[in-house]
Each structure stands twice: as structure tokens, then as C-alpha cells.
């Protein structure tokens, strides 16, 4: 055992130990301290700590470098600690999202001293809260040299398969203006809520684009996600807002996505409330292609947003690969199959060692 985590035991025991350390976002010190002790005990790693984010690197002079990353924080506890094994699954807050993936990466960091590629391991804080607090994002903005690499693997739950890249997301408030009037004399005013009707018709008839990138078909989506407006039960409203979320394929930039929205909703007052870029899969890169071949499963496109986009901003292709079903993330019954933990560890560790795994 290294430090107070059973890193030399097996991936299931280590995942359980990590789950049992409460690490709700902004309270990651205890788990970061435990992970740091493991990393600093490995003589083949150089370790940097930035807040509660840790970067550990091999420096063997290999021609390629891969970045393996996972976040240490979880959503708030929901009567789902301590961890427990039920049948073939390990249950507990963070078991799926994403302490199982962290356990796989941490055992690789501690135990693989001579990988065929140089490796940078990143264990970071505050992924589950606003983007400004995200430890990986902070490194990308302030210390990007620590994330240099040819390819990145984010250990997000992906049903133990490869999900390449991710879609971008942009959220806008679309506002209509009117004129107040008493509802008994509505013809004296202009109803702003009624003014949303053309935009809603546009959304209902919108045909999303389905581009193919690196052989993967992405499926865009444009949806109303909220409506607000109204003054009182007897007043014609003078303002109404429709909130629209656009999930766009990674071949569009954020600026291109916004330009598309301005074209679709021409004439409307638009304000951007949230935006994040997508991530190109980059499966044509040698390291990425070799990784996919080693895993032996057909890659799938990632339809949600993940931190692989942080790597795209740095020009590094990235995939999601980790144990667990993302549909169970943040749920009270969150759990991860024991088989996923073992399969992902066998495949990733074998690839890092240069051994055939498929």
C-alpha cells in the first residue's frame, strides 16, 4: 500500500477507497492529499500541485506523450456513502462519475514506470461546478505547458468504450418586446409572449445537421429549454424570454454556432448566457488511432459536453474512455460494474505498456 490508498491492491479496492473519501466540489483537499502521497511515492514521476489539482509526468524521452486525466470531485452526497458492493457492481457517490476512472489512472501512474509513450496524469478539482473553478480549465488557461501532449484520454464514464470528442454547447436568451395593457383591453397593447410564437414554430420544424467527422456521425440539437414572461394575471406582458440550447457538432466553432443561431432567429434580440466549444475526435492522429485499435471496440461520438474540449482548445485530440454508464452519473443509485473497472484497467494499462489488449 502506498500512502493511505490501497493502490497496490486492485482497482476495485482502490475505487471503493476513493469513493469513501468525500470530495464534493470545493472540498477536495483530503482526496487530493491522498492522491498526492501516492504520486510522490513513485520515483519515475515528477509531480506538480496547483491548488487541489495534481499533475504527474514521466520524462523518458519518448517520441509521443499522452495525457490521462480525471476529476476528483463529486456532486453533493445523497445518502449514498459509504461505498458498497452489491452483486457485480460497486455503489456509491462518485463510483461512476468518476472515481472508477481515477482509480484506473492512479494505478497506472503508480505502477507503470516504463510506458511506451511518455504520460502526463492529471487529477483535478471542481469539474462539477461552474467552469471558472474547473482545475483542468485553470491549467489550460494559466499553465498550458503542463498539459502538452499528442493525445488525451479523459476517464469519464463511457460504458467502457471509446467516445470520441464531444459536441459544443451554446445557450441564448431570445427576448421579445411588447407594450403593457390591461388584459380587458388587450388591443391597446402588444403581447410579448405571443411574439415568441414564430420562434417556437421555427424550433418545432428545425432539421438538425448530422455531420460525419472522422467516420463518426454527430447529431446536432436545437431546443427551447425555458420560457419566462408575464407581469400579472390581468396585464398584457411587455417582455418575454425564450431560452434556447444549441448542441453543435465539433466541426463548428463557437462563433460559427452563434452566427447560425442569429441566422435562424433573425430579427430577434439575442443574448448569449453560456457557451463552450466542442472537441474534434482526432481519430486520424497516430496515437489516437493506435489507442482505438488497442481497445478493439468501435468508437462512438460523444453527444454531451465533457472536458475533452479543454484539450481541443490546446490543439490536442481527445477521447472519453472510462468505466461506468454516464446515465447513472449524479443519481442516488450511482454505481459502476466491477467488470468495467477491470476491463478498462486491462485495456488502458496494456496500451501504455505496449502490450496487445484487443
Predicted local distance difference test score (pLDDT) of residue 280: 85
What is the percent of the chain where pLDDT is above 70?
98
Examine the pLDDT at 228 and tell me if it is beyond 90: yes
**What is the distance between the alpha carbons of residues 344 and 211, in angstroms, rounded to a whole number?**
29
The contacts of residue 207 (CB under 8 Å, 6+ apart) are none
What's the pLDDT tens digit per position in 56-111?
Answer: 999 999 999 999 999 999 999 999 999 999 999 999 999 999 999 999 999 999 99
Examine the pLDDT at 2 and tell me if it is beyond 50: no
Predicted local distance difference test score (pLDDT) of residue 356: 61
CATH topology of domain 11-166+279-353: Aminopeptidase (3.40.630)
- Can you tell me the mean pLDDT for 4-9? 94
Contact present, 205 and 250 (Cβ < 8 Å): no
What's the pLDDT tens digit per position in 159-203?
Answer: 999 999 899 999 999 999 999 999 999 999 999 999 999 999 999
**What is the distance between the alpha carbons of residues 38 and 34, in angstroms, rounded to a whole number?**
7
Examine the pLDDT at 234 and tell me if it is beyond 60: yes
Average pLDDT over the chain, rounded to an integer:
94
Q: In which residue ranges of the chain is CATH 3.30.70.360 found?
A: 168-276
C-alpha Rg value of the chain to the nearest Å: 23
Predicted local distance difference test score (pLDDT) of residue 220: 97
The CATH number of domain 168-276, selected from 1.10.1200.10, 3.40.50.2300, 3.30.70.20, 3.30.70.360: 3.30.70.360
What's the pLDDT tens digit per position in 282-328?
Answer: 888 888 888 998 888 889 998 888 899 899 889 898 899 999 999 99
Q: In which residue ranges of the chain is CATH 3.40.630.10 found?
A: 11-166+279-353
**What is the distance between the alpha carbons of residues 18 and 32, in angstroms, rounded to a whole number?**
10
Examine the pLDDT at 355 and tell me if it is beyond 90: no
Q: Minimum mean pLDDT among 126-135, 223-232, 243-252, 341-350: which range? A: 126-135
- Can you tell me the mean pLDDT for 216-243? 96
Set of cell numbers at residue 311: 484539450
Query: Catalytic site residues?
Result: 73, 127
Predicted local distance difference test score (pLDDT) of residue 276: 87
Amino acid at each position: 500500500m502506498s500512502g493511505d490508498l490501497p493502490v497496490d491492491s486492485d482497482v476495485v479496492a482502490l475505487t471503493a477507497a476513493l469513493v469513501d473519501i468525500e470530495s464534493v466540489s470545493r472540498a477536495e483537499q483530503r482526496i487530493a492529499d491522498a492522491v498526492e502521497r501516492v504520486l510522490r511515492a513513485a520515483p519515475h514521476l515528477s509531480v506538480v500541485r496547483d491548488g487541489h489539482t495534481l499533475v504527474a509526468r514521466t520524462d523518458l524521452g519518448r517520441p509521443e506523450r499522452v495525457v490521462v486525466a480525471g476529476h476528483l470531485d463529486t456532486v453533493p452526497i445523497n445518502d449514498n456513502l459509504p461505498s458498497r458492493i452489491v452483486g457485480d457492481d460497486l455503489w456509491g457517490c462518485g463510483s461512476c462519475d468518476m472515481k472508477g476512472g481515477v482509480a484506473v489512472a492512479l494505478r497506472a501512474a503508480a505502477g507503470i514506470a516504463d510506458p511506451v509513450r511518455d504520460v502526463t496524469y492529471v487529477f483535478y478539482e471542481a469539474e462539477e461546478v461552474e467552469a471558472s473553478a474547473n482545475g483542468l480549465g485553470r491549467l489550460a488557461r494559466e499553465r498550458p505547458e503542463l498539459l502538452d501532449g499528442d493525445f488525451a484520454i479523459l476517464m469519464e464514464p463511457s460504458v467502457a468504450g471509446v467516445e470520441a470528442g464531444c459536441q459544443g454547447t451554446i445557450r441564448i436568451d431570445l427576448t421579445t418586446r411588447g407594450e403593457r395593457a390591461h388584459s380587458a383591453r388587450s388591443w391597446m397593447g402588444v403581447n410579448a409572449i405571443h411574439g415568441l410564437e414564430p420562434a417556437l414554430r421555427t424550433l418545432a420544424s428545425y432539421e438538425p445537421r448530422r455531420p460525419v467527422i472522422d467516420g463518426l456521425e454527430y447529431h446536432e440539437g436545437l431546443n427551447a429549454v425555458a420560457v419566462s414572461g408575464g407581469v400579472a394575471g390581468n396585464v398584457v406582458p411587455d417582455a418575454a424570454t425564450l431560452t434556447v440550447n444549441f448542441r453543435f457538432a465539433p466541426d463548428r466553432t463557437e462563433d460559427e454556432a452563434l452566427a447560425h443561431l442569429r441566422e435562424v432567429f433573425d430579427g430577434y434580440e439575442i443574448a448569449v448566457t453560456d457557451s463552450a466549444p466542442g472537441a474534434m475526435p482526432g481519430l486520424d492522429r497516430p496515437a489516437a488511432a493506435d489507442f482505438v485499435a488497442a481497445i478493439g471496440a468501435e468508437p462512438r461520438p460523444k453527444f454531451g459536453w465533457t472536458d475533452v474540449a479543454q484539450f481541443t482548445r490546446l490543439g490536442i485530440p481527445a477521447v472519453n474512455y472510462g468505466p461506468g454508464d454516464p446515465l447513472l452519473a449524479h443519481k442516488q443509485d450511482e454505481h459502476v460494474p466491477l467488470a468495467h473497472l477491470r476491463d478498462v484497467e486491462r485495456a488502458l494499462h496494456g496500451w501504455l505498456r505496449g502490450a496487445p489488449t484487443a
